[in-house]
Structure 1
Amino acid sequence: MSVPLFPGVRARRCPFDPPPDLQALRERAPLTRVRLRNGRTAWLVTRYAEQKALLSDSRISSDVTHPGYPMEIDIAARDGRSPGSFILMDDPEHRRLRRMVTAPFTIRRVEAMRPGVRKIVDDLIDDLLAGPNPVDLVAAFALPVPSLVICQLLGVPYADHDFFQENSKVLINRNVSGEERTAAGDRLFHYLDELLGEKLDNPGEDLLSGLVDRIRAGELTRAVAARMGVLMLLAGHETTANMIALGTLALLEHPDQLARLRSSSDDPALVASAVEELLRYLNITHNGRRRVALADIEIAGVTIRAGEGVIVANDLGNRDPSMFPDPDRLDLDRPGARRHVAFGFGVHQCLGQPLARMELQVVYGTLYRRVPTLALATTVDEIPFKHDGSVYGVYELPVTW
C-alpha cells in the first residue's frame, strides 16, 4: 500500500473539516506512516489519546536541528545564528527562554488588557459600519484586531503592520520557495533586531523592552531576542486573525449556532464555551506538531524508533469521536470542548493561549451583537481558502449587513 501524503487536501464541499484522506487514516489506526512533500516519511498520530501521550513524553523532542526531525524545508542554523526560537528547542534551554516572556501572557495580566481590547474591537466596528458596504472582513477587522493588540504588547509600531503582515504571509505559505521563505524571515529578523537596538537606547514598558533588560544582564543575546520577537509577532496576529475570520464564516454557515451566540453575547460562560468549540471545530494549525523520537517508544501496538519523525495532527485529534461525540457537528454548548488540543499539549503548548482566548471572547461576544444583520456578500464557493498555508483560514471574507 502506498504511503499517503501529508498534510492532505480539504474537500471543497467541507472546507471546515480535516482532509477526508486523513480522517480515513484516523479511522484505520492511531498511528500511520505518511510521506512529506520532500519525500521524507514520519509517523502521523491521528487520535486524541495517543496525541496527548506523546506530546507529554520526554522521549519526544522538538529540536529542529535533529536529523530525524520531520521538516519539509531546511532551516538549519546559518552563519552561527539560531535556526529558530524556543518552540524549536528542548528543555532546559526551551524552559529558560520561555520563562523570559511568560509574565505578559499570564491570565491576570491578560485580563487587565481586556478593556483595551474591547475598545480596539468597538473602534474597528465603528469604522466598519461607517465605511463601504460590502467590505472584506479580513482586511477591515479580523487582521487589525490582533495586530493592534500584539503591537501594543510587544512595543512594535503598528504603522509597520503592512511590512510584517506581508512577510508573515510568506513564512506560512507552503508553496513558496526556500529562498523566498529565508528572505522573508531575514527581513523580519533584521526589523526586530533594529527595534531592539532602539529600545536599548530608549526602553519602554513593553515586552521587547523587557528582553532588552535580559540582554543587558547577559542572559540573552540580541540575535536570540530578535528571533523570539519574530515568533511572538508572527504567532500573535496570524493565528488569531484567521480564527476571527474563519470562525465568523463557520457561524454564518451555521445560523442556529450564530443565533445562540448572538442572543447570549452578554453571558461570559456561553461566549467562552463558543470560543473553545470553534477552536476545536476549526483548528487552524495544519502542519501538526512536529517532533522526533529520542528513543524507541512503544505506543498503540507500534514501535516508533529513535530518530524517526512524529507529526501530531491536532485537527484530527479534535475530531476524534472517542473524545468528542458527533465531532463533525458545531455545537457551542458542547460539554468538554475546552479539552481540545488546538493549542497543543505538554511543555510546548501555546504560550499565548490566554491572550488568544481573551481576544476571541471579546470579538465573538461583540461583533455579531453590534452587527446583527451580518451576512456573506458572496457564496462559500467563491471564498479563497488558505489551502496553501500552514495556518488555515481565508484570504478574504466579503460581508454585508
Structure 2
Amino acid sequence: MSVASLVSSVRSRLLGFVARRYAGGSSGMSFGGNLSMLPESVLFPLFRDGLDPSAKVNELREREPVSRLSLPLGIRAWLVTGYEPVRAVLGSVDGFSNDFGKLAGRIGVDAGATPGGLGFADPPVHTRLRRLLTPEFTMRRLARLQPRITTIVNDRLDAMAAMEGAVDLWQEFALPIPALAICELLGVPYSDRDYFQKLSTSRFDLDDGAHASLDAMTESLDYLGGLITKERKDPGDGLLGSIIRAEGDNIDDRELAGLADGVLTGGLETSASMLALGSLVLMNQPHLADPLRAGEPADDLVEELLRYLTVVQVAFPRFAVRDLEVAGVPIKAGDVVMCSLSAADRDSVLGPGMDQIDAGRGTTKSHLAFGYGFHRCVGAELARMELRIAYPALVRRFPGMKLAADPAKLAMRRASIVFGLEGLPVLLE
C-alpha cells in the first residue's frame, strides 16, 4: 500500500468526505498531497505566507514550541515547532515510534494496511531496509551518476532554449531532472525512460482527477515489479540489480518494488519542488546567482536554500511509546507528535535573520530539510547533487531569465506536506 493511498484512507476515516475526491492530493504528494478539505485547526502547520511559514506557526514557535494540536476522534496530538525540541523528538531512539500500526487501530484503519518502507518502519525492520539502500546513496556510489545528471540538465536546457515564448520551468526543468536521475539510479532501461518519466510525473498531475494519480502509482508498482523480474534474471548496475546481487531471495519482489517506489516518490516531488522554488528565489533575488555565474561552488547556497524553503514541511508522525517530556511538556504514551520542519528551520537559535537568505551564514547542514536522526532522508546526497548541478547551469545558460507572470498570482500549494508550485512560467531571455 503506497503512502499516498494510506493517507487517503486515514483522511476518509477522519473526516469521511475526502476519500474519493481528494485521494492522493492536489498534485499527489507522496506523503500527503493537498489536504485542503480538512479543517484549518489541523492544516495550519502547512500554510505559508509566500515562501515563509505562516505567522501562526512562527508565533507558536516563539511562545509555545510544543503545543496541543486539535485532531478529531479524541486523538491527543502535539505540534513541535522549535528547532531543539524537533531534534529531540526526531533523534529519540526509544521514546517514539513511526509504526503506523500504533495509530491505525485507534482510528478504524486495518493495522496491517501500513505503507511499509522506511518512513513508517521501526527497528529492526527499518534497520534492515535502510541497510539495503544506504550503500547506493553514499557519495562514492553516487559519483558515477554525476556525469549523467549533468547531461540530463544540459539536455533540458537545450530543449528549453528551442521553445518559443514562455516556458513552464516546473514541467520542462524541475520535474524531468529528478525523474531521469532516478531512472539512472534504479537502472531503468533507456528504451523505457520516456515512458517511466511520464509515469512518474503523472502521479503528481491531477488534471484527470485523483483516481488517475492513484492509477499511475499502481501502474508504477506494476512496472517496477516487471523490471525486478528482469533484474532477477540478469542483475544490472543500478540500485535494483545491486540489491538483488547482494540479497538474492532474502528480499521478495513486493518488498523490493516498495523500496524502489519509495525512492521514486521520496526523491521526485521533493527535488522537483526545490528546483522550482529555488529558481524562483534566484529570479527574485538575482544577486544570489552572481557567484554561481562567476563559477563559484553552489554548495553553501544550496544548503541555505534547503533550510530557507524546507519543502517537506512536517516529518512523518511519531507516536510516543511511553510517558515522557519534550522541552518540559509532558507527553503521554500513545500521543501523536507532529514536527514542523519548516518552522524549526527558521528558529532564531540557529542565528539571526533566519527569515532571510544568507549563503555565508555558516550553518551548512545544520538544517532539518532532510529530517534528523535515523529516519533522516536516505537520498539527501542525491538531492544535493542535483541542485548543485542544476542551479548554476540554469543561471549561466539563461542569465536574463525572468518570471512571465505576476509573482502574486503564482499558484502555490495551499496545504501540502511537500510545499511547492503548480507551475512556473518564465521568459528565458
Scaled by the length of structure 1, the TM-score of the pair is: 0.88
Q: Pick closer, same or farther for the CA change 1:221–1:169 going to 2, 3 Å.
A: farther
What's the CA shift string for 1:51-84, capped at 9, x where partnerless?
Answer: 111111121111111127999x958534xxx532
Q: Pick closer, same or farther for the CA change 1:200–1:17 going to 2, 3 Å.
A: same
- How far apart, CA to CA, are the structure 2 residues paired with 1:358 and 1:53? 28
Matching residue within 265, 268, 274 for 1:234 = 265
2:86 is matched with 51
2:101 is matched with 65
Q: Pick closer, same or farther for the CA change 1:389–1:138 going to 2, 3 Å.
A: same
Whether the 8 Å CA contact 1:289–1:344 is kept in 2: the answer is no
What's the CA shift string for 1:130-177, capped at 9, x where partnerless?
Answer: 22232101111111111111111102332222122212556xx9xx87
1:149 and 2:220 aligned: no
Q: CA RMSD in A?
A: 2.6
Q: How does 1:103-118 map to 2 (within 5 A)?
A: 103-118=135-150
Matching residue within 180, 185, 193 for 1:158 = 193
1:298 and 2:329 aligned: no
2:411 is matched with 384
Whether the 8 Å CA contact 1:68–1:292 is kept in 2: the answer is no
SS for the counterpart of 2:381 is helix
Q: Pick closer, same or farther for the CA change 1:121–1:70 going to 2, 3 Å.
A: farther
2:391 is matched with 364
Q: Pick closer, same or farther for the CA change 1:389–1:70 going to 2, 3 Å.
A: farther
1:125 and 2:167 aligned: no
1:346 is displaced (CA, Å) by 0.6
What's the CA shift string for 1:24-51, capped at 9, x where partnerless?
Answer: 1111112001124777441111111111
Scaled by the length of structure 2, the TM-score of the pair is: 0.83
- How far apart, CA to CA, are the structure 2 residues paired with 1:242 and 1:261? 20
Q: Pick closer, same or farther for the CA change 1:254–1:122 going to 2, 3 Å.
A: same
Q: How does 1:1-400 map to 2 (within 5 A)?
A: 4-8=41-45, 10-11=47-48, 14-36=49-71, 40-58=75-93, 59-67=95-103, 76-78=111-113, 83-156=115-188, 157-159=192-194, 160-168=196-204, 185-213=217-245, 217-263=248-294, 266-268=295-297, 271-400=298-427
Which consecutive residues of structure 2, in runs of 5 or more, have no partner in the other structure? 1-38
What's the CA shift string for 1:313-355, capped at 9, x where partnerless?
Answer: 1001100011131111111222214210000111110000011
Task: Give the fraction of aligned pairs with identical amino acids, expressed as a percent.
Answer: 34
SS for the counterpart of 1:233 is helix
Q: Pick closer, same or farther for the CA change 1:75–1:229 going to 2, 3 Å.
A: farther
Which consecutive residues of structure 1, in runs of 5 or more, have no partner in the other structure? none
Which region of structure 1 is more displaced relative to structure 2, 391-400 or 150-159? 150-159
What's the CA shift string for 1:93-145, capped at 9, x where partnerless?
Answer: 11111111111210112233222211211121122112223210111111111
SS for the counterpart of 2:52 is coil
What's the CA shift string for 1:243-280, capped at 9, x where partnerless?
Answer: 000111112112332334434xx222xx1000000000
- How far apart, CA to CA, are the structure 2 residues paired with 1:141 and 1:19? 28
2:35 is matched with none
Q: How many residues align?
A: 384
SS for the counterpart of 2:266 is helix
Q: Pick closer, same or farther for the CA change 1:206–1:27 going to 2, 3 Å.
A: same
Letter in 2 for 1:150: I
- How far apart, CA to CA, are the structure 1 residues paired with 2:141 and 2:234? 24
SS for the counterpart of 2:299 is helix
Q: Pick closer, same or farther for the CA change 1:36–1:193 going to 2, 3 Å.
A: farther
Whether the 8 Å CA contact 1:4–1:33 is kept in 2: the answer is no
